[in-house]
Amino acid sequence: MQRARSVFGADKLLTVSDVRRVLSQLDRQFYPSPFNVRFGVEDIARVELDGMILVLDREDYSVSSKIIKERRYEPHLTAVFRRWCRPGMTVVDVGANVGYYSMLAAGLVGTTGHVMAVEPYSGNCRLILLSTAANGFENVELLPVAADSRAGWSYFSTHLGSNGGLQPGSVEDLSDGRGMVVPAFQLDQLVSRHVDFMKLDVEGAEGRVVKGARRIIGEDFPVITTELSREMLGRVSGISAEEYLAGFAALGYQINLIDRSSRELQRFSSPDELLAGWSDPLQIEDLLLIPPDAR
């Protein structure tokens, strides 16, 4: 415990949970902080929804609080998982976050299937392990590392809450104290089994992940969901959205936008057609990439 001065309005004795509550109001992208306060037993919430149990962090305003309050999460993407994940499949969840999609997939693929949850942030990994135990899942494999374009290390930035992201790892990044060095691997190194379904949601590092997964994508042709942001993709992966999607189009993948309201798929004949109306670089959408043999 510590004495907080006028920065909080008045002298006040704060618990660790109080400190976490204050820090959680600071968005990682716009107000990054070097502080990282781990959650304790008093911060844990246990939520039951859609036939599964999720162990969540009450002070995580990025993801957990939405699930706790609404008792659902991203219904448009959840519907895609329910449509495409079937018993016996292998699912790779890259950017597993608090584990919502890993737990969802584990139930859908069943005991004959396998889920690989790739997540570099230790706090999220704790939640994934706790949820896996709470559900009694034996088909979830946690990989507490970053998926990247090369093996070695990556610089991961977060201060509190589930959302974090890889940074370029420049001298300035490494010096500012707002992140941590984490082990990194190519997905092609991590995964030896056939992959049927893959989710990519890594705050702009999708291009780096795909570069390290060329064998998996080119040989297994998994169904892929990917978050797409022009701004984040360019800043973190150093490539354009056009270049990113062109790689999938060259392999014959069908590009679909997942409509958040209707949950319907909007099919586009090419990356150019999709991106023609994408005027806001900060716009973020979820795409479904369907390989030729899965249509």
Cα angle vertex 102, ends 245, 224, to 5°? 20
* Percent of the chain predicted with pLDDT > 90: 71
- Does 17 or 216 have the greater pLDDT score? 216
Most confident of 8-12, 170-174, 285-289: 285-289
Please name each of the domains of the chain with its CATH number.
Answer: 72-294 (3.40.50.150)
pLDDT at 164: 80
Average pLDDT over residues 178-190: 93
Least confident of 36-40, 140-144, 145-149: 36-40
Those residues whose C-beta lies under 8 Å from the C-beta of residue 278, and which sit 6 or more positions away, are 230, 241
Residue 4 has pLDDT above 50, yes or no: no
Nearest by Cα to 23 from 60, 52, 48? 60
Average pLDDT over residues 26-31: 56
pLDDT at 62: 82
Residue 226 has pLDDT above 50, yes or no: yes
pLDDT at 31: 59
As a whole number of angstroms, the distance between CA 127 and CA 155 comes to 21
Mean confidence (pLDDT) of the chain: 90
Assign 241 a pLDDT band (cuts: 50, 70, 90): very high
Assign 161 a pLDDT band (cuts: 50, 70, 90): low
Assign 167 a pLDDT band (cuts: 50, 70, 90): confident
Nearest by Cα to 268 from 245, 237, 244, 239? 245
As a whole number of angstroms, the distance between CA 166 and CA 164 comes to 7
